[in-house]
């Protein structure tokens, strides 16, 4: 059966992304891409669930029951954490509010969608990141004997180097990269805020072959493209990371129990900067955080940092007992010992 095109949902989605989000809501390109990814995932799920192609879906197909099953799939099959699940739901809620304004005849369906609750517990999820040896193993499994392998190695090395969001990396062009000393990249983050991040000379050398085809008019061409010459997507980066993680886990057992996604590489950079003694303000600027409070989450991410902090506060309490001496120090009562802490 031939479906008229565009239908109500098709026309609404075009206006939603081309007019409503950028013009009326003033959302940044990064946020719009995040909303796009969420709705693309839902449309794929809904098409399979309804047994119809995505272009044949209607507004009533955005029912609360289907959205709930979609969110469950994100967690169970894609391994998304609660925060990611809630971000996808937020995009669906925004779309539902927009549709309700122009299509009140579907209000009951849209109100039910808006009633789908966010899931509690997102803040309690531990931050996943890679230890130094795990980073080495991940990079070591990438076959650099061909161009795509060289691209992948440069991609992940740059992500570890800068701690940038994956979309910030994918938006890079040759014009954003300085290969001569001091080597650096210009990143455009949330709210179109621009920051400059230094890169190691070794990272600059990895980027040089990617920048060479972009001389002259090609300066605005994305740095990271797929085998067809099209811009690499966030889904593509996720796929590549999962593939290399599976290979690295065969050599590094500690990787087998970790759920690593592209944003985990950003967490990895932040935690290792903190371990190296870099102050929170510098890390916040490095990562492009809008608030220092966002950076503070890394203070509780690493167990080694907690041990070091505890040793500074209670060095004697955590020291190994000396031979022949146990319990409290001699001639010091419990109350006096507590007062000295």
pLDDT tens by residue, 171-196:
999 999 999 989 999 999 877 789 99
CA 276 → CA 127, 283, 295, 316, distances in Å?
A: 18, 11, 15, 24
Residues sharing a CB contact under 8 Å with residue 25, sequence separation 6 or more, in sequence order: none
End-to-end CA distance of the chain: 78
Q: Write out the catalytic residue numbers.
A: 165, 190, 263, 266, 289, 298
pLDDT grade for 1, boundaries at 50, 70 and 90: very low
pLDDT grade for 301, boundaries at 50, 70 and 90: low
Torsion of CA 206, 209, 214, 219, to 10 degrees: 20
User: Hey, which of 24-38, 130-144, 275-289 has the most confident mean pLDDT?
Assistant: 130-144
CA 279 → CA 19, 276, 295, 325, distances in Å?
A: 41, 9, 10, 39
Percentage of the chain lying above the pLDDT 70 cut: 82
Angstrom distance (rounded) from CA 62 to CA 40: 13
- Tell me how long the chain is: 341
Is residue 314 pLDDT above 70, yes or no?
A: no
Give strand pairing partners of 117. none
Angstrom distance (rounded) from CA 12 to CA 153: 40
Helix (H, G, I), strand (E, B) or coil at 87: helix
**Residue 313, pLDDT score:** 46
Q: Given the DSSP bridges, would you call strands 184-188 and 177-178 parallel, antiparallel or unpaired?
A: antiparallel
Is residue 274 pLDDT above 90, yes or no?
A: no
Better-predicted residue by pLDDT, 216 or 70: 70
Ordered by start, the domain boundaries in the chain are 8-124, 132-301
**Residue 217, pLDDT score:** 57
**Residue 303, pLDDT score:** 55
- Average pLDDT on 97-104 reads 93
Angstrom distance (rounded) from CA 326 to CA 128: 38
Query: Which among 24, 18, 11 is positioned nearest to 103, based on CA atoms?
Result: 11
Give me the helices (H) in 24-81, please. 29-50, 64-76
Using alpha carbons only, how large is the chain's radius of gyration in Å?
25
pLDDT grade for 317, boundaries at 50, 70 and 90: very low
Q: What is the DSSP string of 299-313?
A: GGT-HHHHHHHHHHH
Is residue 323 pLDDT above 60, yes or no?
A: no
**Residue 31, pLDDT score:** 86
Percentage of the chain lying above the pLDDT 90 cut: 57
Q: 44-64 burial by CB neighbour count: b if 16+ within 10 A, else e?
A: ebbbebeeeebebbebebbbb
**Residue 120, pLDDT score:** 85
Range with the lowest mean pLDDT among 134-148, 189-203, 271-285? 271-285
- Domain range 132-301, CATH class: mainly alpha
**Residue 216, pLDDT score:** 58
Is residue 124 pLDDT above 60, yes or no?
A: no
- Which contacts of 39-44 are long-range, i.e. CB under 8 A and separated by 24 or more positions? 39/13, 39/91, 39/92, 39/95, 41/70, 41/74, 41/88, 42/67, 42/70, 42/88, 42/92
- The pTM assigned to this predicted structure is 0.63
Residue pLDDT, tens place only, 194-230: 999 999 999 999 999 998 865 555 567 899 999 888 9
Give strand pairing partners of 184. 178, 198
Residues sharing a CB contact under 8 Å with residue 199, sequence separation 6 or more, in sequence order: 158, 161, 162, 183, 184, 185, 207
Query: Which among 29, 44, 34 is positioned nearest to 95, based on CA atoms?
Result: 34
């Amino acid at each position: 059966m031939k479906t008229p095109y565009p239908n109500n949902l098709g026309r609404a989605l075009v206006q939603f992304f081309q007019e409503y989000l950028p013009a009326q809501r003033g959302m940044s390109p990064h946020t719009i891409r995040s909303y796009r990814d969420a709705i693309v995932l839902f449309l794929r799920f809904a098409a399979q669930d309804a047994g119809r192609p995505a272009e044949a879906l209607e507004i009533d197909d955005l029912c609360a029951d289907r959205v709930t099953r979609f969110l469950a799939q994100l967690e169970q099959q894609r391994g998304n954490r609660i925060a990611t699940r809630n971000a996808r739901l937020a995009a669906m809620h925004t779309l539902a509010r927009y549709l309700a304004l122009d299509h009140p005849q579907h209000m009951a369906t849209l109100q039910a969608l808006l009633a789908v609750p966010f899931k509690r517990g997102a803040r309690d999820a531990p931050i996943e990141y890679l230890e130094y040896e795990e980073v080495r193993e991940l990079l070591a499994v990438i076959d650099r004997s061909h161009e795509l392998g060289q691209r992948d190695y440069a991609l992940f090395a740059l992500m570890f180097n800068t701690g940038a969001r994956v979309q910030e990396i994918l938006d890079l062009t040759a014009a954003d990269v300085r290969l001569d000393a001091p080597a650096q990249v210009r990143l455009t983050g949330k709210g179109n805020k621009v920051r400059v991040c230094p890169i190691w000379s070794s990272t600059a050398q990895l980027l040089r072959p990617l920048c060479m085809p972009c001389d002259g008019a090609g300066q605005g061409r994305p740095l990271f493209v797929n085998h067809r010459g099209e811009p690499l997507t966030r889904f593509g980066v996720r796929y590549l990371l999962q593939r290399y993680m599976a290979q690295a886990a065969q050599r590094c057992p500690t990787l087998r129990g970790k759920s690593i996604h592209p944003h985990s590489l950003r967490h990895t950079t932040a935690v290792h900067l903190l371990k190296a003694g870099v102050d929170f303000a510098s890390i916040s600027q490095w990562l492009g955080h809008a608030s220092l409070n966002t950076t503070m989450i890394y203070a509780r991410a690493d167990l080694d940092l907690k041990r070091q902090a505890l040793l500074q506060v209670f060095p004697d309490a955590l020291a190994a007992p000396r031979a022949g001496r146990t319990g409290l120090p001699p001639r010091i009562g419990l109350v006096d010992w507590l007062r000295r802490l």
